[in-house]
Amino acid sequence: MTIMDASTLKSKKIIVFDLDGTIVRLAADWHSLRKALNDRYREKFKEESQFKNMSSLLSDIVARGDEEELKHNFSIIQKYELENITKNEPIKEVIYFINNKELFGVNSEVKFAIFSLNTRATIIKSLQIAGVVNKFEFCVGREDLRAWKPEPEGLLKIRDRFQVLNKDMIYFGDLKKDLLTGANAGVETYIIDDLINFVRKVRKN
Ligand SMILES: [Mg+2]
């Protein structure tokens, strides 16, 4: 893979970030959240619930066509995510990049967007706490999707919203799944550590 530097960013029009592990580190109690969703599933469908993660549980509800139950699940997720929101840790290099994009070869016309599987309220609140909410034009969160990462829907929604080409976009996330999502969307994608290292290098010089 190529090294991420100013030349990578130069031609981009839209920079998309994941949220958790990328811009901030959320402090939600994921274990209790998964338990709450699994308890709810058993109670609602009277069936054993053996999902390896939240997305597969939610996909099952999507496949059932139960939109109302899906929304109820989103509200449970939002509640757990927001509970510890003030304990969020912003990732300082990424916040610096967002606040000073021109220092990194990014055109001043470039727009920032979020594609995260956290709920929209969590995204907005986290960006507010980090003091960068006004830097973002568009956010795609869990409720906006019916197919989750590594499905490419979120990135394609952002592309369509800004009416740009895939090659005009770049995506940053913290997981292999994010890289896979980018590959599935045909959007150049990097692990956030690459951007963090680039920020450190620029700031040192
Ligand atoms: Mg993440």
**Tokens 């997981």, residue located:** 175
**112 and 133 part of one domain:** yes
User: In the listed set 59, 83, 107, which residue is the last one of a domain according to the structure?
Assistant: 83
Is residue 197 in a domain? yes
Asked if 170 contacts 188 with a C-beta cutoff of 8 angstroms, the reply is: yes
For residue 3, name the pLDDT band (cuts at 50, 70, 90). confident
Sheet holding 188-191, edge to edge: 136-140, 111-115, 14-17, 169-173, 188-191
Those residues whose C-beta lies under 8 Å from the C-beta of residue 132, and which sit 6 or more positions away, are 23, 95, 98, 99
Is residue 51 in a domain? yes
CA of 22 to the centre of ligand 1 (A): 6
CA of 174 to the centre of ligand 1 (A): 5
**166 and 94 part of one domain:** yes
CA of 139 to the centre of ligand 1 (A): 14
CA of 178 to the centre of ligand 1 (A): 8
CA of 73 to the centre of ligand 1 (A): 20
Q: What is the DSSP string of 137-180?
A: EEEE-GGG-SS-TTSSHHHHHHHHHHT--GGGEEEEESSHHHHH
**124 and 152 part of one domain:** yes
**72 and 133 part of one domain:** no
Is residue 76 in a domain? yes
CA of 58 to the centre of ligand 1 (A): 18
**155 and 59 part of one domain:** no
What domain count does the chain have? Answer: 2
**39 and 110 part of one domain:** no
What is the predicted pLDDT for the residue at 2? Answer: 63
Please state the rounded mean pLDDT for residues 116-142: 98
**152 and 76 part of one domain:** no
16 forms beta bridges with 113, 171
**pTM higher than 0.85, yes or no?**
yes
**95 and 127 part of one domain:** yes
Please state the rounded mean pLDDT for residues 29-45: 96
What is the predicted pLDDT for the residue at 159? Answer: 98
What is the predicted pLDDT for the residue at 17? Answer: 98
- Give the tens place of pLDDT for each residue, 137-185: 999 999 999 999 999 999 999 999 999 999 999 999 999 999 999 999 9
Could you tell me the residue range of the domain that residue 173 belongs to? 6-26+90-204
User: pLDDT exceeding 70 applies to what percent of the chain?
Assistant: 99
**117 and 173 part of one domain:** yes
- Give the tens place of pLDDT for each residue, 59-99: 999 999 999 999 999 999 999 999 999 999 999 999 999 99
CA of 63 to the centre of ligand 1 (A): 25
> Which domain CATH number covers 142?
3.40.50.1000
The alpha carbon torsion through 15, 152, 22, 194 (nearest 10 deg) reads -70
The pLDDT mean for the chain works out to 96
**182 and 105 part of one domain:** yes
CA of 172 to the centre of ligand 1 (A): 9
For residue 50, name the pLDDT band (cuts at 50, 70, 90). confident
Is residue 154 in a domain? yes
On the question of pLDDT at 193 being above 60, the answer is yes
**40 and 114 part of one domain:** no
**58 and 126 part of one domain:** no
Is residue 1 in a domain? no
